Structure 1
Amino acid sequence: MSERLGVTPAQTVGPYLHIGLSWPDGPYVVPEGTPGAFWIRGRIVDGTGTPVGDAMVESWQADPDGHFDHPDDPRGARAATVPGFRGFGRADTDAEGWYALHTVRPGPLPTPDGETEAPHLNLSVFGRGLLHRLVTRIYFPDEPANAADPVLRTVDPGRRDTLVARPAADGYQFDIRLQGEHETVFFAV
């Protein structure tokens, strides 16, 4: 008779994030010098406002034309028109909780219901003490399509600002508060 083993319990990401998950060009969704490229910089803090110095963010986004070079794109995978665009970035935080991603503005995306999602980046947040990644989005402050975005419309109007980046000298700033007052909106996916 064979013994049946139980399910392995969930574990936090742990303090070893920086050992195996980061790489030197991770923050570059597009190469340096790409026309129209900018930085998204932000700070991750916990519920007390303390910087989270051992976290990591991953970004996933459409190209400027609103397409993914991925088989799951219902319109079909299509290579980006931006040379070197990979649609994915990964950045760890420094001791003060700061991260940075170098990218270009994504295009709008069609939904299965025939609506259009405003240009945005999807972010996953990993860190010590988190059993599962946290998923959020970054919207752009100067985007008229935000008002009609079907996902943003589901968010309480008083909390939508936690999903909108702020203009910065070299692009945008998007801070992430993991809990507490002004907590960033996270999505269950």
Structure 2
Amino acid sequence: MLQTPSQTVGPYFAYGLTPKQYCYDFESLVGNRISDKTLDLITIKGKIFDGENKPVPDAMIELWQNDGANQFFGRFGTGTDAENHFIFETIKPKSVDGQAPYATLIIFMRGQLIHSYTRVYFSDEEVLNVQDFVLNTIDSERRNTIIAQKKEGFYELDIHMQGQKETVFFAI
């Protein structure tokens, strides 16, 4: 019996996790939008950039959030969008125990043996961001790498895997 070859996280997960990204004609079991339109929803979008500052067209992003009252889990493949964005429509998290509102992003992509964790905070939560324990453990010049900027109709956060703009990642 031969050993199974080792692989990095890659498109072999596509069939079950992000089928639209690879042109399968069925929906993912987990989407990127909350279906309850009675809630006040926000959109978070961005791109993932590799070490050469090129958009990654085949990454998978998971978003997890829990603000004590509401929970959301979503998944999106960057190749699903024509411009390689990740896009999530969710509720804006609330503050829990004095922390600034945030969601956790988990990045799966080629070339990584293990996924990367980061957070998305919100630029319009200035008071809570200044007080947040986790944000205060990050050098001030790098905090902006995990704070989504409020734009017209959405929040934008680009993720840079390497380089001068490298996003802050967390060991979990």
TM-score class, shorter: 0.7 to 0.9
User: Match of 2:51?
Assistant: 47
Q: Shift in Å at residue 108 of structure 1? A: 1.1
User: Which residue number corresponds to residue 16 of structure 1?
Assistant: 12
Query: Helix, strand or coil: the match of 1:99?
Result: strand
1:26 — aligned with what? 31
Contact 1:12-1:128 within 8 A present in 2 as well: yes
User: Counterpart of 1:133?
Assistant: 115
Structure 1 residue 49: Cα displacement: 1.1
Q: Following the alignment from structure 2 to structure 1, what is the Cα–Cα distance between the partners of residues 132 and 163?
A: 26
State the Cα deviation string for residues 104-126 of structure 1 (Å, max 9, x = none).
Answer: 1111122xxxxx22100011000
Number of the residue aligned with 1:67:
68
**Deviation string, structure 1 residues 43-75 (Cα, Å, up to 9, x no partner):** 11101111101101111112xxx316xxxxxxx
* C-alpha distance in structure 1 between counterparts of 2:159 and 2:92, whole Å: 20
Partner of 2:85: 98
Fraction of identical pairs, as percent = 43
Match of 1:76 in 2: none
Residues 164, 174 of structure 1: 8 Å contact kept: yes
Whole-angstrom CA distance in 2 between matches of 1:25 and 1:129 = 24
Q: What is aligned with 2:105?
A: 123
After TM superposition, give the deviation of residue 9 of structure 1 in Å.
8.8
Structure 2 unpaired stretches of 5+? 19-27
Name the SS of the counterpart of 2:54 in structure 1: coil
SS at match of 1:61: strand
The structural deviation recorded for 1:24 is: 6.5
Q: 1: CA distance between counterparts of 2:52 and 2:169? A: 18
Task: After the TM superposition, list the runs of 4 or more consecutive aligned residues in structure 1 that deviate by more than 6 angstroms.
Answer: none
In structure 2, the partner of 1:142 is 124
* Greater radius of gyration (CA): 1
1:182 aligns with 165
Q: Please give the alpha-carbon distance, in whole angstroms, between the structure 1 residues aligned to 2:72 and 2:63.
A: 8
Aligned pairs, how many?
158
Equivalent position SS for 1:57: strand
Aligned to 1:38: 42
* TM-score normalised per structure 2: 0.84
Q: By how many angstroms is 1:97 displaced?
A: 2.8
Please give the alpha-carbon distance, in whole angstroms, between the structure 2 residues aligned to 1:67 and 1:55.
29
Shift of 1:11: 3.5
SS in structure 1 of the partner of residue 14 of structure 2: helix
TM-score by length of 1: 0.77
Provide the secondary structure at the position in 1 that maps to 2:106.
strand
Amino acid at match of 2:68: H
C-alpha distance 152-19 of structure 1, shift in aligned 2 (>3 A) = same
Distance 2:61 2:87 in 1: 9
Asked whether the equivalents of residues 41 and 172 of structure 1 are also in contact (C-alpha less than 8 Å), the reply is: yes
| Cα drift, residue 32 of structure 1 | 5.7
Superposition RMSD in Å: 2.1
Change (3 A) 1:187 1:88: same
